[in-house]
């Protein structure tokens, strides 16, 4: 099923509870929580010497990632803005996070420059080239762009779970597009799909974690997504 605005409108009231529960019982829940944890861990050295960071998130959903940023890095941040294409996601995000961030439907956001731009789990449903240029124009000279992408090289895709994306390329093809406008600083693979183990969640969780740690250095392209930490190319003009 291709995920569109109507899908996310329906998901808005249960978005975080389905994907980030207290007790992980499915591969999808593991993936979402693991991806967020890895992003926060690797982001820390990027921003720990910064002050008054202006944060901007593309595809903010109900604000779950911005809430995590506020919890972990509040002292470094001056403003946070989130945008999404789903009106009901924006409504839920504003109700639950309005004190820490501002939320806008995509296309109505203010045209401001940001020091940290996040696009986590979104670009496979968007136009890649358009979003990369959009971020390049909004990112400050020394800013950081954190982008996660699912590639068709992964085991997840090879087991037939790549349906529903608007675009689904190899990691090599995505990286060629990225490098037109950004320098790739760090790449963090996440989500090594292991068939069948999640039929027994209490066994699957430690096994999944061990496999992720063991195989990250050796077969990064087999992971469901890669998180890219990117720096702006200053000699490139869209």
Which candidate, 220, 232, 233, 231, places its Cα nearest to that of 38? 220
The percentage of the chain sitting over the pLDDT mark of 70, rounded to a whole number, equals 99
Which residues are CB-neighbours of 115 under 8 A, at least 6 positions away?
50, 53, 54, 55, 139, 140, 142, 143, 144
Q: Is 74:68 a contact under the CB 8 Å cutoff?
A: no
Task: Determine contact, residues 192/222, Cβ cutoff 8 Å.
Answer: yes
pLDDT (0 to 100) of residue 236: 77
Tokens of 131: 């979003």
Over 50: is that where the pLDDT of 148 sits?
yes
DSSP class of residue 231 equals E
Long-range contacts of 197-201 (CB under 8 A, 24+ apart): 198/25, 198/26, 198/27, 198/30, 201/24, 201/25, 201/26
Computed over every residue of the chain, the mean pLDDT equals: 94
Residue 65: phi and psi, rounded to 5, are: -70, -40
pTM value > 0.85: yes
For residue 161, the model assigns a pLDDT of: 74
Place of tokens 């203010």: 110
Q: What is the pLDDT of residue 84?
A: 97
The predicted-structure confidence for 1-39, as pLDDT tens digits, reads as follows 457 899 899 999 999 999 999 999 999 999 999 999 999
Closest CA to 159 of 198, 122, 124, 129: 198
Q: Is the pLDDT of residue 61 over 50?
A: yes
> Is the model's pLDDT at 188 over the cut of 70?
yes
Helix/strand/coil for 221: helix
Q: Shortest CA distance to 222 belongs to which of 192, 187, 178?
A: 192
Q: The domain 5-9+26-232: what is its CATH number?
A: 3.40.50.150
Domain locations in the chain? Answer: 5-9+26-232
**Percent of the chain that is helix, strand, coil (3-state, to 5):** 45, 20, 35
């Amino acid at each position: 099923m291709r995920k569109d605005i109507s899908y996310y409108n329906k998901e808005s009231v249960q978005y975080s509870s389905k994907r980030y529960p207290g007790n992980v019982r499915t591969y999808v829940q593991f993936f979402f929580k693991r991806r967020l944890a890895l992003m926060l861990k690797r982001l820390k050295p990027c921003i720990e010497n910064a002050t008054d960071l202006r944060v901007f998130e593309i595809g903010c959903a109900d604000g779950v990632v911005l809430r995590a940023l506020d919890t972990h890095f509040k002292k470094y941040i001056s403003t946070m803005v989130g945008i999404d294409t789903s009106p009901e996601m924006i409504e839920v995000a504003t109700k639950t996070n309005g004190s820490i961030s501002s939320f806008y439907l995509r296309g109505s956001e203010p045209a401001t420059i940001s020091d940290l731009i996040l696009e986590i789990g979104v670009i496979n449903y968007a136009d890649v080239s358009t979003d990369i240029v959009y971020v390049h124009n909004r990112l400050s000279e020394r800013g950081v762009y954190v982008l996660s992408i699912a590639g068709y090289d992964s085991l997840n895709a090879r087991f037939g779970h790549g349906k529903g994306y608007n675009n689904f390329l190899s990691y090599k093809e995505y990286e060629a597009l990225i490098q037109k406008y950004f320098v790739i600083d760090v790449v963090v693979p996440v989500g090594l799909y292991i068939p069948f183990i999640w039929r027994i969640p209490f066994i699957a969780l430690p096994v999944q974690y061990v496999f992720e740690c063991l195989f990250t250095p050796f077969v990064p392209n087999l992971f469901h997504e890669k998180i890219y930490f990117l720096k702006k190319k200053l000699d490139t003009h869209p």
